[in-house]
Amino acid sequence: MFRVHYNDSSENRDVGDHYAAEAGARGVFTFSSREGACVRLPPGTETTDVYTTVEDAAYNLIRLQRIFVAHIALVCPPFSGHLNPMTALGCALQQRGHRVTVLGVADVRTKVQAEGLEFYPIGHSDFPLGSMAEVIAQLGALHGLAGVRYELADIQRRTIMLCRDAPAALRAIQADGVVVDRIELSGATIAESLGLPFVTVYNALMIDRDPWVPPVYTLWPYRTTRSAQLRNRLGAALGLYITRPVRSTLNAYRRQWHLPPVRSDADFLSPLAQISQLPAAFDFPRRSLPPYYHYTGPFLARARPSIPFPWDRLTGQPLVYASLGTLQNRARAVFHAMAAACAGLDVQLVLTLGGGGKVSDYHDLLGSPLVVEYAPQLELLARARLTITHAGLNTVLESLSYGVPLVAIPITNDQPGVGSRLAWSGAGRVVPLARLDASRLRIAVRSVLANPNYHRQAARLRDAIQGSGGAPHAAAIVEQAVLTHTSVPNTTT
């Protein structure tokens, strides 16, 4: 704590209060006429007391604000599954007094500004306003390897766009540091080219290769045998092979910026801090994490826009909440299987389409599910006994935040990896998409509802999430890394 004291002579304290307010430090310091100005410093900074007049106190406040308030840029994919946790982290940084700007394509401006964050547009020629609707539609229609290929092509386009536009944008806003979503492979290179400190954030599962951990795009179980390690290495090699075009593009820019080529996963990662929104209890055991890797639990928004919902239509039966998120929400066959699996059970199925269609498109679902285009997810999870999901990480973590067990139907991307962790943790069951039918899904639903162990394990993970710190803890890590330019060790046990 840095405390600026001033004497109690004839100084005009109203003037001092005015100057302190003008310093504009929202949460970085507090100003009290009785105690002076209190400025919170990064951990490890030496404590100092300064006794001064009120004018000098105001001057010191402004000087310290320049040192200890940063302008932090956020870079992440323009999809809700990444943007929602990243803006929640941005709001937590803003609460600590920092200025936060999201670099993004035109279609995310409204979302970013609704969260109270600043927005700087990039990529207009590649992603003009309205263009993300087609990308989202394609991602919603594809699954398996086809979905992975399409997403890699999209990452390639964003890589070129970011390398072209982001350096100038970061200079224009005079950013002091960058928070980079791990999926944006260009983020580390861009920050490195400008000499800016950056922090890597895993809004999705950790995609870096580890022989002890199955690749995230597989449903392979966690095992420690030699054959499992060989299997994992081969799977990781496939992932390395299919991402060659992106790495080649990135290395072309690195040569242009006189940087060495990326050769390993570490070249994409921050040497200061790496943050995952998983709780450690939900990840497979890892043996090679750096000392500055942090499991902070999910980044949940302080508040969400109100979504209309027909609460009067809830029957009081055990509530089953079903969602395919905002990308894989055009899988009609999966929605039909969900409805058929719950038909005739003593439950009420609430099924949200996530913008993937209209309620009238699903008038022929079996049973009497309550179907809505959008749903207030957290409010429903607070009442739910079970979630049926595509294993999108945010839906899974939010369900577990309320101690709700799940049945997962992974479709693409890292969803198989989320599903395999769900099964390993004991908080739910997985029905592979290739084997999905109403009968198998019904067996899984009845099993999770009836077996109290699934609920106990979900409650265990709820407690782990509550003890992980979430977005406020992640923001403190980012703050320390950006302000001190030094690595932030994980001190938790």
At 241 the pLDDT is 86
Residue type, 144: G
pLDDT at 334: 94
Output the pLDDT for position 48. 46
Cβ proximity of 412 and 143 under 8 Å: yes
pLDDT along the chain (493 residues), means of 10: 38 41 39 40 44 48 60 96 95 96 97 96 95 85 71 90 98 97 95 97 93 93 94 90 90 96 91 97 93 96 84 97 85 93 97 88 93 95 97 96 97 92 98 96 98 98 96 96 95 71
- b/e string for 9-30 if b means 16 or more Cβ within 10 A? eeeeeeebeebbeebebeebbe
- What pLDDT is attached to residue 135? 87
Could you give the count of Cα atoms lying within 13 Å of 287 in the half-sphere of its Cβ?
Answer: 6
9 CB-near residues (< 8 Å, 6+ apart): none
Count of beta carbons in the 10 Å neighbourhood of residue 368? 12
Check residue 413 and give its pLDDT: 85
The pTM assigned to this predicted structure is 0.85
Residues 6+ apart with CB under 8 A from 79: 136, 139, 326, 327
Task: Give me the pLDDT at residue 203, please.
Answer: 96
The pLDDT assigned to 492 comes to: 76
**What domains lie within the chain, and their CATH numbers?**
2-68 (no CATH), 71-297+469-484 (3.40.50.2000), 311-466 (3.40.50.2000)
C-alpha span between 232 and 228 (Å, rounded): 6
What is residue 158's predicted lDDT score, i.e. its pLDDT? 94
DSSP lists the bridge partners of residue 310 as none
Tokens of 243: 């991402």
Between CA 351 and CA 375 the distance in angstroms is 8
Query: Looking at residue 326, what is its pLDDT?
Result: 80
